[in-house]
Amino acid sequence: MITIDVLGTPAPKGSVRPVIRAGRAFLTPSHNATGQRKLKSWNTSVREHAVEAIVALGDAAPTGPLFVDAPLAVELTFRMARPSGHWAKKGGLKPSAPSSPAVKPDIDKLTRSTLDCLTGLVFDDDSRIVELVVRKVYAEPGREGARIVVNEFVNTISI
């Protein structure tokens, strides 16, 4: 099992849209340059923290993925920043502040960007994930990021 605690602003991996130029179809990212910079920053943070967690498990730098050809269970908790409008002028949360971040970015796009960063580093292929638990919560100020737990899957379900 490995637990990776990432600090940073979680960024979604946007969709692609088809564009036709000179009679040929191309897929282009649907997000803008700012979104691409945020995604690159998030990807860098995830990979750096993953390498730190892998090194903490042993004495050497990783030479390949930790999990190869194994079914995996993954738990992701995205810690999102609260908007400034949730805070009262005198400090503390406003009574009207929601308890959960039921707003963009989409949880599936956050998941996709994060799992893609771990492919080849923590596991050989994200198709190995057979159980996935994902949640978004509001973070304490300065604790934005994600907690990622990857473990070999143990089947306890009988159908």
pLDDT per position as a tens digit, 88-105:
888 888 989 998 999 999
Question: Taking 80 as the threshold, does the pLDDT of residue 87 lie above it?
Answer: yes
Tens of pLDDT, residues 121-143:
999 999 999 999 999 999 998 99
pLDDT per position as a tens digit, 25-76: 876 666 667 778 889 999 999 999 999 999 998 856 667 899 999 999 999 9
In CATH, which of 1.10.10.60, 3.50.30.10, 3.30.1330.70, 3.60.20.30 is domain 2-152? 3.30.1330.70
- Single-letter code of the amino acid located at 150: V
**Residue 142 burial (CB < 10 Å; 0-12/13-18/19+)?**
exposed
What pLDDT is recorded for position 102?
Answer: 92
**Which residues contact residue 38 at a Cβ distance below 8 angstroms, ignoring those fewer than 6 apart?**
9, 11
pLDDT of residue 29: 65
